[in-house]
A and B are shown apart, each in its own frame.
Chain A
Amino acid sequence: MNRRRTLIVVGLVALSIVVFGALASYGWWHRYGPGPGVAVQAFPRLGVPYLPRPLEMDDRVAAAPVWAELPSLDVRMMHQVTETPWPTELIAQVRVRAFHDGRDFYCRLEWADAQANIMTAPGQFTDACALAMPLANGPPSQSIMMGFSSLVNFWHWRADLDAEVWNGAAASSPAYTDHLNPFEDKEVLAVTTPKPTTAVTDMLAARPGSLTRKDRQAVLGRGGWRDGRWCVVFKRAMRTDDSQTDVQIQPGLRAAAFAAWNGQNKDRGARKSISDWVILDIAAPPASPADSRAESRTARSAGRIPASLLGGLLAGVSTAEPERPREITIVAKRFEFNPSTITLRHGELVTLRLESLDVTHGLYLDGYDVQTKARPGVVGKVTFRADKPGRFSFRCSETCGEFHPYMIGYLSVTPNSPFHVMVLIIIATAVLVAAGMFIIRLRRKRTAA
């Protein structure tokens, strides 16, 4: 009987384990996919400070002292493998520095190259580098070679053009005519290559294979090779009058990518080393009082400040400038906000700009009941007055993945009077309790005496 019972118990135990295992494995094989989100990549970030020190594109520009003062980023490179011809050797790393003077944007690329290849001839290729920037002022797509989120500017510097433009060297033989169409010069309507006026070719692309030289060339570039390293400086006005085809460089975050060619390794065209996206964090120039007034006027005319606020302000002092909201940019990625803590003064008018680096994120602010949302490339904004003191959580309001409910940041409106009151009450309670204890003790002593 006992043996039979043992067998039944063992059988039931085994059965329950098997059933559980089977159900769990069913769940595993039918588990949900990764969700609608895109895998997050931590793109490296390079600070682009504002320095009011314009550079002349002379032969010392690549070695100008200003470069030593700037933060640098060593960007890891990889083989370009989407289009043929594929590279044979890798340029492992490019060091990047950049700044702007409010008018022009400067960027210097530096990489190791044991031998300068400047002239081209059949079978010989020149060293080169390029900088790519999407026109849209938003986070980039995940792969620079599998498609872009917008049109992309390519600034392609070539050592042979540099020598031709800056040093008056004879034009190289057309080794680059077009490796896909080597008989171009024999065509009736051949595409003629204009005489270069700059060492940088400013181009536009929408996807691989769509690279197009722009009619108007707006980028200057100058390079120098010394001690086994190339240093190339790009210069372009931050804003141009052609926002359809020229990237407009403004303070804030902007994506960029880099490429480099080593002529010694017969790099040309698609045979190159490329980087993934790098985020340029472009600093805003300090606002002058004149600028502030101008911007205030612009904001007012554009209706950015709510009419009710304007009315309130104007009612107080008719000559007062309307209050400008303090603008705070919050960058969201799964599952965090950056910055994750915001401190405001009580009564401050603030605009929260929400940028997303990966998927659609929202921002809902507890207590204030305001919200906005952003998706890659589309910034969300919400303006409110911080008129409630205390600490409030702001949380993602768009389901962005498994940890979505826990994507939280804090907004503190100082002074945090609810917390201060709580602490005061607690300390007062503790003091009262302690004092009460001593009074009880004294009474007891007196009674005993």
Chain B
Amino acid sequence: MTTETQEPQEKKPKLLGLIPLDWRLDLTAIKPIRRLFKSRWFPLLAIMVNLFIFVIILLSGIVGGLSSGNYSFGIMFVWILWWVLLMMLLVPGLSRTWCMVCPLPTVGEWLQRLRILGVGEGGLGMNWKWPRRLSNMWLMNILFLATTFFSGFFTVKPLATFILLGGIIVLAIILSLLFEKRSFCLYVCPVSGFQGLYANMAMTEIRVKDPEICRKHKIKTCEVGNKNGYGCPWLLKPHELNRNTYCGMCLECFKTCPFDNMAMKVRPPGTDLLVNSKRGLDEAWKGFIMLGIAVMFYVAMMGRWGFLKDWVRAETLEGWLKFAGIHAVMNLLLIPAVFFVFALLSKLASGARETSLRSVFVNLSYSLIPMGLAAWVAFSFGFLLPNGSYLLHVVSDPFAWGWDLFGTAGFPWTPVLTAWLVPLQFVSLFAGYLVSLDYGYKLACQTYIDKAAAIRGFLPLLAFLTLVVIFFGWLYGG
């Protein structure tokens, strides 16, 4: 799809001209971390802790308490704490660490393996292959978008959050029993898709230490498994891993590798964006959808338009249908169409006839990922600073039964640092813009045959990204 630049003697590429993109720091060189990763108790113990919290979240959705979401443990932990952690820390910092400790597919996986801790053959699942036609992000795109249609329920009604999370668990159980390994996580889970896409921006990665060792290792135990661990549950070839997108960080490859050749490394953020592997329209659309949802969520929830709030919370069916319709059209058609125009301009400006419009469209769309992530970080500040204090209340009284476990049940709503909210959002957006520009140029260089064409082809992308960041700036504080 892309054409590698032909120019030799290139300088080592750097992020923003500062950090070499090939700089790495091996965290697993630290013995306790390596020992932890190789233990079968990890991440199981972390999953168990998480599972315990999720049981409370689920119970808080169906037993007693207040109807108002801001005093519900489930709502606050899922839509304030989890979402903010995910978007501001976990994904940008630690890639798909959430998937490592996610309790949602756990029960399904235990049933599939008929084991919790140990390793062994056999299990309950039917072990079917996932259909080839669905082996992409499209299903996740549609499911995630469909989920956001009901955001006016999930984010405010405890029972709706229970139904969403419980539904995901049941679906994970069913699909784990029918299909092989983590097919559910790879191709269905609504949370998985955007995590995978934004994990390209993460500052950590799991990779092999020395590819030569893997090349010489005939039995790829990381793929097929051994007595120490299962073959990659995410259906990857860990010895060839070069992107974070589909790696669920289950750490099985650390356990199965007899040469201790797997490593978790710190790296400059976003290096995966330049990896031309499995790029496609499905991932491009995921980027558009995430950008569109950031806009729509902000407008509907943190915007000033009361009628939109009535639409989102389905005050009338007609209003909700309008919301869902506009939301779907904006995400699936409008944003891609606008980007298509700029991709076309890029191709025309570059003068590179031999480069296909599709490859321009797909490759350049990855430059939206830093911008999109920054928009979500900025959005998350808008949730966290004004509403974070509710967490202190719900943690002491998770079921709204009048408990005061930690003495914080009476803690009043206390907005924090709201004077800095808009400036923090602007800084986040600007940082995302700079990184987007940087990777946009590098992607243009990857896409077009020579540097001159890349520079010409980059200018429309520069205009597009500038418009996008100004638009977000206006939305958040203009």
Contacts and interface: CB of A to CB of B under 8 A. Distances in A.
Contact of B419 (A17, A367, A410): A367
B302 A393 contact: yes
A43 to B, nearest CB: 15
Interface stretch (A19-27, A90-98, A110-118, A174-182): A19-27
Contacts of A184: none
A441 B350 CA distance: 13
A351 interface: no
B155 to A, nearest CB: 8
B138 interface: no
B302 to A, nearest CB: 6
B396 to A, nearest CB: 17
Interface stretch (A46-54, A56-64, A241-249, A432-440): A432-440
A17 B163 CA distance: 12
A419 interface: yes
Interface in A318-361: 335-338, 340-341
Contacts of A254: none
B430 A27 contact: no
A24 B306 contact: no
A397 B386 CA distance: 10
Interface string B327-354: 0000000000000000000000000000
Given A20-B170, A399-B70, A426-B430, A434 B304 contact: no
Contact of B61 (A12, A27, A390): A27
Contacts of B423: 418
Interface stretch (A31-39, A137-145, A265-273, A278-286): A31-39
B124 A429 contact: no
B41 to A, nearest CB: 26
Contacts of A30: 62-64
Nearest to B305: A340
Interface residues of A, number: 66
Contacts of B462: 430, 433-434
Nearest to B123: A5
Nearest to B415: A364
B304 A33 contact: no
Interface stretch (B26-34, B86-94, B452-460): B452-460
Interface stretch (A125-133, A200-208, A400-408): A400-408
Nearest to B159: A27
The residue among B301, B434, B455 with the most chain A CB atoms within 10 A of its own CB is B455
Interface in A352-399: 364, 366-369, 388, 390-393, 395, 397, 399
Interface in B224-257: none
B174 interface: yes
Contact of B68 (A27, A364, A404, A416): A404
Contacts of B459: 434, 437
B304 A12 contact: no
B54 interface: no
B85 interface: no
A337 B305 CA distance: 9
Given A9-B126, A366-B415, A402 B157 contact: yes
A174 B422 CA distance: 71
The residue among A16, A392, A402, A409 with the most chain B CB atoms within 10 A of its own CB is A402
Given A9-B125, A12-B177, A422 B430 contact: yes
B304 A24 contact: no
B166 A20 contact: yes
Contact of B70 (A9, A24, A405, A410): A405
B178 interface: yes
B173 A12 contact: yes
A410 B387 CA distance: 17
A423 B421 contact: no
A433 B441 CA distance: 10
B20 to A, nearest CB: 19
Contact of A340 (B70, B124, B306): B306
Interface stretch (B139-147, B272-280, B465-473): B465-473
A391 to B, nearest CB: 5
A426 B478 contact: no
A416 B478 contact: yes
A340 to B, nearest CB: 4
Contact of A409 (B66, B156, B304): B304
Contact of B126 (A5, A32, A366, A405): A5
Nearest to B419: A367
A425 B430 contact: yes
A369 B386 CA distance: 11
B50 to A, nearest CB: 19
B309 interface: yes
Contacts of A66: none
B193 interface: no
Contacts of B163: 24, 27
The residue among A32, A395, A403 with the most chain B CB atoms within 10 A of its own CB is A403
Closest 8 CB pairs of A and B: A336-B306, A27-B62, A32-B67, A366-B418, A340-B304, A367-B419, A402-B156, A430-B466
26 contacts: A9-B124, A17-B170, A20-B166, A23-B166, A24-B163, A34-B67, A337-B306, A340-B304, A366-B386, A391-B477, A393-B418, A403-B152, A404-B68, A405-B386, A406-B156, A406-B300, A408-B304, A409-B304, A419-B474, A422-B429, A422-B473, A426-B466, A426-B473, A429-B434, A433-B437, A444-B451
